[in-house]
Amino acid sequence: MTAAHTRSVRIAPSLLAADLGRLKEQLATIEAGGADWLHLDVMDGVFVPNLTFGAKVIETCRTLTALPLDVHLMVVEPEKYFESFAKAGANILTIHAEAAPHLHRQLGRIKELGCKAGAVVNPGTPVESLRDVAADLDLLLIMSVNPGFGGQKFIGASVEKIARARALLDAARSSAALEVDGGVTRDTIHGCWAAGADTFVAGVAVFGAKDPAAEIHALRARCVQAGVQG
Ligand code: DX5
Ligand code: ZN
């Protein structure tokens, strides 16, 4: 496992849990509050049983924040959206191994468009399915809930999977971000960090908090705090 002191913590609040009626204010709050990335969940109602948004919302967020836009595509045929999302201002495009049979080619296409390329696995998909593209990844995302909805309970087995993901990236000498998505809270974040994750999506934990900025700070502090049990 990578030594904890060589990793820095990234907190990526998820737009899914934000109050869209106050989008400008919500983004300003997290940016001023120390968020590192903004996580955007694109869902097509086919790959997952929920629908969210597409290029237009990404473009709007681009005009409202300087934070890197971390776009998570929960869609079938993700390649259909690469170009429009890149044009809209996405910085990272992350695609599901389950929805991308030509993963190697699609990661290459994302990079050609000037974005960072990420791959993600559902709770039921072994992270080892990403072994042969490990060196091509800018980001590896472990789903710690079944994707589709915010506010779900963290799946405990994800911690051991994060450790395997960390070993896999280290073996490939990859400096890819290792991100966790779903049910990340003050109670679950430390175990993920200790297992080797460095980037944490947090929807309800941040936007559901009375003080989102304080919550970002608390989540970050929980990672490095000695003696905290994950
Ligand atoms: C779930 C999405 C997540 C979601 C996380 O399908 O991929 O990014 O916003 O929400 P919380 O942090 O509330 O579990
Ligand atoms: Zn997500």
Pocket test for ligand 1, best of 39, 72, 73, 145 (most atoms within 8 A of CB): 145
Active-site annotation holder among 36, 41, 44, 136: 41
* Average pLDDT over every residue of 171-189: 98
User: What pLDDT digit, counting tens, does each position of 95-137 carry?
Assistant: 999 999 999 999 999 999 999 999 999 999 999 999 999 999 9
Q: Quick one: pLDDT band at residue 224, thresholds 50, 70, 90?
A: confident
By C-alpha distance, which of 70, 65, 61, 120 is closest to 92? Answer: 70
* Average pLDDT over every residue of 9-27: 98
pLDDT at 140 over 80: yes
* Residue 228: per-residue pLDDT: 62
User: What pLDDT digit, counting tens, does each position of 187-220 carry?
Assistant: 999 999 999 999 999 999 999 999 999 999 999 9
By C-alpha distance, which of 117, 159, 143, 132 is closest to 1? Answer: 159
Q: Quick one: pLDDT band at residue 4, thresholds 50, 70, 90?
A: very low
pLDDT at 20 over 90: yes
Active-site residue flag, 19: no
CA dist 54 and 13 (Å) reads 18
Ligand closest to the CA atom of residue 72: 2
Residue 41 CA to ligand 2 centre (angstroms)? 5
Residue 145 CA to ligand 1 centre (angstroms)? 8
* 4-13, 28-37, 155-164, 196-205: range with lowest mean pLDDT: 4-13
Q: Quick one: pLDDT band at residue 159, thresholds 50, 70, 90?
A: very high
Report the SS3 class of residue 93: strand
Residue 32 CA to ligand 1 centre (angstroms)? 22
* Average pLDDT over every residue of 6-28: 96
Active-site residue flag, 70: no
Ligand closest to the CA atom of residue 200: 1
